[in-house]
Amino acid sequence: MMYMFLIVGLGNPGKEYQKTRHNAGFMALDEFQQKHDFPEFRLSRKHSSLVSEGILGETKVILAKPQTFMNNSGKAVQSLLKLSLGKTKLSLVVIHDDIDIPLGKVKTSRGSGSAGHKGVDSIIQALGTKDFTRIRIGIQPATGKLENVEDFVLKKFSKKEQNMLSAALEKSCQAITMILTENLEKQ
């Protein structure tokens, strides 16, 4: 039985949302895809996602960027998970922005609640479980959490924030690689 990872980056589709804080998950997958020479992302209408598939070691890895908008991410993830039923052992990893973590920091967790993140909440609701790994990319400004989070997450990173964002995306790629490596060692 082959082992497979579905790694989902959360964000919103469309040019107007590119490089916004809420699209940190998309950015992390783009970085990982480039670093590991995965094929370009292609639209899978069936799964409402941009998808890139590759093999790392002996593990099949599917990178997916749902095109359903953040609040409906669960629909796309549920569809993608049906791909592997019965054929493989599957691990789900979700990468997303987190307003409760300072910009530049990255945290990994498993089995935790959504903490108000609507994309993660959509996935938990669609799957009926929170038993998956999350890589949380901090987007909180140095001044602390803001009152109007909805407007803030849809704004682009400032030039001043770019270095910290780049460091966080690098840490995210390292976290993905570590998760893949640790799971392979357990087989």
Active site residues: 22
Q: Is 164 exposed, middle or buried (0-12, 13-18, 19+ CB in 10 A)?
A: middle
- The enclosing H or E element of 81 equals helix 73-81
Determine the length of the chain. Answer: 187
| Of the candidates 90, 92, 128, 85, the residue with the CA atom closest to the CA atom of residue 110 | 92
Token pair for 40: 């370009």
